[in-house]
Amino acid sequence: MANRTDPSAKSIRGTNPQNLVEKILRSKIYQSTYWKEQCFGLTAETLVDKAMEVEHLGGTYGGNRKPTPFMCLVMKMLQIQPEKEIVIEFIKNEDYKYVRILGAFYLRLTGSDIDIYRYLEPLYNDYRKLRQKLADGQFALTHVDEVIDELLTKDYSCDIAMPRIKKRWTIESLGALEPRRSALEEDFEEEEEKEDNDQPADEPEDRTHEKDYYRGRSPTRERDRDRRRDSHRHRDRDYDRDYDRDYDRERGRGRDRDREKERDRDRYRIRDDKDYGRDREGRERKRRDRDRDSGRRRSYSRSRSRSRDRKEHDGGDYRKRRARGSVSPRRHGDEAEDGEPKKKKEKKEKKEKKDDGTDHPDPEIAEANKLRASLGLKPLKL
């Protein structure tokens, strides 16, 4: 219940006012001791007393990022949503500077563009010192006009993202806001009028021109003063134009970089394709050479096997023929043993010759016995 937005509160920028603070920072504020003890039950009237007790401004600090009392009060204002007149009275309060900064911060979050420029720009003339608590827990010195400039020009302040607002020159071009005038312009104009009145009429013209030059009344210096006076009107416009120009330039550079990357990618792809084609041709050439070498090796092995078989075949016949024709040397005892069979063979041959009748003393009968032996007939016995 203590963390809910007031039911009568209006939505700001299409959302719950408390959602203007990030969820993590919002949950840290809900868990802080200052929120539970000091901000419970506060209303728009009693909130002023707590705002007068604030001694510094800031977002979160420390290792666990504790929220400052200033940030807790900003969250409380978003929750109860005080009226616009109360917020403007906060901003116009000159006695308590932190009350003024609290109102300006709340108006920057919830106000319209015209109200923001109308009520915050006069605070540029407030140069009072402020204590700001940094993220490491240390304090730093700042001023009211610096905080207002941060609210109007920066996207972040006190760890909160500021809603975007239109540029001042855009609102001026629509006629909704008058051109901003510096508080020192009236003093400059009064001094110039006094100088014009104090100038004697009978003074020579050259002397007057010389004195005007040194006093700042020369046409050149007047032109410079007018240019400086009007420069603040076009400062935002020039900044936006430079920003757009830089953005377009960076965008063009990014496109050129993308085109160069695509060209390099295409170049590398073509080179890789060529290298792959060369590698493929080299691999095919090596494979053909390998096949050719293997074919030669295979044919050579076949020829060697054939020659080996032929040699073995021829060598076997040769060994057989040699074994038949050659007689191994024998010892003396073997010769004595082989002598008997030879004699028996000779006796058998002689006996066969005698049986054939071819050894008949009569040549005619011997020839007739040869003829009969060839015909397989028995020899003639006469």
| Helix or strand holding residue 161 (H, E) | strand 160-161
* Residue 103 domain-assigned (yes or no): yes
Overall domain count for the chain: 1
DSSP assignment letter at 182: -
* Residue 335 domain-assigned (yes or no): no
Per-residue pLDDT of the chain (382 residues; tens, 9 = 90+): 577 888 888 888 888 888 899 999 999 999 999 999 998 888 888 899 999 999 999 999 988 899 999 999 999 999 998 999 999 999 999 899 999 999 999 999 998 889 999 999 999 998 999 999 999 999 999 999 999 999 999 988 988 999 998 888 888 888 888 887 777 777 777 777 777 777 654 444 545 444 444 444 444 555 555 655 565 555 555 556 666 666 667 666 767 777 787 887 777 777 766 666 667 777 788 888 888 777 766 665 666 666 666 655 555 555 555 555 544 445 444 444 444 566 666 666 666 555 667 777 788 888 888 888 888 787 776 6
- Enumerate residues 6+ apart whose C-beta is below 8 A from 9: 17, 79, 80, 81
| Helix or strand holding residue 67 (H, E) | strand 66-67
* Residue 344 domain-assigned (yes or no): no
* Residue 341 domain-assigned (yes or no): no
Residue 252, Cβ density class (10 Å: 0-12 exposed, 13-18 middle, ≥19 buried): exposed
> Which residue range forms the structural domain that includes residue 82?
17-173
Token pair for residue 15?
Answer: 């959302």
Instruction: Return the residue matching tokens 């007939």.
Output: 377
172, 233 in Cβ contact below 8 A? yes
Tell me which residue of 11, 10, 96, 2 sits closest to 42, measured CA to CA: 2
* Residue 48 domain-assigned (yes or no): yes
370, 358 in Cβ contact below 8 A? yes
* Residue 209 domain-assigned (yes or no): no
Instruction: Return the residue matching tokens 């095919």.
Output: 284
Q: What is the spatial distance between Cα 68 and Cα 50, in angstroms, rounded to a whole number? A: 13
- Enumerate residues 6+ apart whose C-beta is below 8 A from 133: 56, 57, 58, 61, 68, 139, 140
212, 225 in Cβ contact below 8 A? no
Strand partners, 15: 12
172, 230 in Cβ contact below 8 A? no
Q: What is the spatial distance between Cα 74 and Cα 105, in angstroms, rounded to a whole number? A: 8
From residue 49, how far is each of 29, 39, 90, 108 by CA, in Å? Answer: 20, 11, 12, 22
DSSP assignment letter at 380: P
